[in-house]
């Protein structure tokens, strides 16, 4: 578990913000990922919320130099296997089930499991997880909630995701138990649809300049 934790941490520490992408058209995946990497955001999460997602993961893994692509919204073992097969270098889930824990244990590809309560964090710590996704961050209590967990659950690091923007990202990044945040604001749908890759690189540069 230690090696996988270090592997995951090295990915999450590449930048303060991990783009969380919903890719509607796989043809946009490569230019989008290149724009994000150019702006300093190398670790990229493509969520399995569309039919194009797995192909998008595959294309970015194969064609975008410097990108570390992961798959998000992984809900079961079949999702996990398909994402790994497509080239995912890390896996992200909104919550955690025993099925996911079992498949993660047998895989070389690290899991960033979701948790939203102290009990869920404690259960995942018992499974050996030290790095978790806090989701949905704003709706589950925000930065104040995570700050309250930092002392009783010391040693656990979080990547909060959900409702985070440039305006409130530093509320999280300034916390000692936050390694990075996840956000979709760096790749707004209107810029992707317009093919405004320079605009996305600019947003990525602003995000990569944030420091905890």
Residues annotated catalytic, as ranges: 45, 133
Contacts of 167-171 with C-beta under 8 Å, sequence gap 24+, read 168/138, 168/142, 168/143, 169/16, 169/17, 169/207, 169/210, 170/210, 170/212, 171/142, 171/143
The single-letter DSSP state of residue 161 is B
Return d(Cα 142, Cα 31) in angstroms, integer.
32
DSSP, collapsed to helix, strand or coil, labels residue 99 as helix
Beta strands in 35-128 (DSSP E): 43-47, 68-72, 90-92, 111-112, 114-115
Cα dist. 52→13, 28, 72, 185 in Å? Answer: 28, 10, 13, 20
Peptide bond into 136 cis (omega under 30): yes
């Amino acid at each position: 578990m230690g090696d996988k934790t270090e592997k995951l941490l090295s990915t999450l520490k590449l930048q303060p913000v991990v783009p969380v992408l919903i890719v509607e058209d796989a043809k946009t995946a490569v230019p989008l990922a290149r724009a994000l990497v150019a702006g300093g955001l190398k670790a990229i999460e493509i969520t399995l919320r569309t039919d194009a997602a797995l192909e998008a993961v595959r294309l970015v893994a194969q064609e975008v130099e410097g990108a570390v692509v992961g798959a998000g919204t992984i809900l079961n073992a079949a999702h996990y296997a398909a994402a790994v097969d497509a080239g995912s270098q890390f896996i992200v889930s909104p919550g955690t089930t025993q099925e996911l824990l079992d498949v993660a244990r047998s895989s070389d590809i690290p899991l960033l499991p979701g948790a939203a309560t102290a009990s869920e964090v404690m259960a995942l710590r018992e499974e050996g997880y030290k790095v978790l996704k806090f989701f949905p961050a704003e709706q589950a209590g925000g930065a104040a909630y995570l700050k309250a967990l930092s002392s009783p659950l010391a040693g656990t690091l979080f990547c909060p995701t959900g409702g985070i923007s440039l305006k409130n990202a530093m509320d999280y990044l300034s916390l000692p138990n936050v390694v990075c945040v996840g956000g979709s604001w760096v790749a707004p749908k209107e810029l992707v649809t317009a093919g405004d890759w320079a605009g996305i690189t600019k947003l990525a540069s602003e995000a990569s300049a944030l420091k905890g």
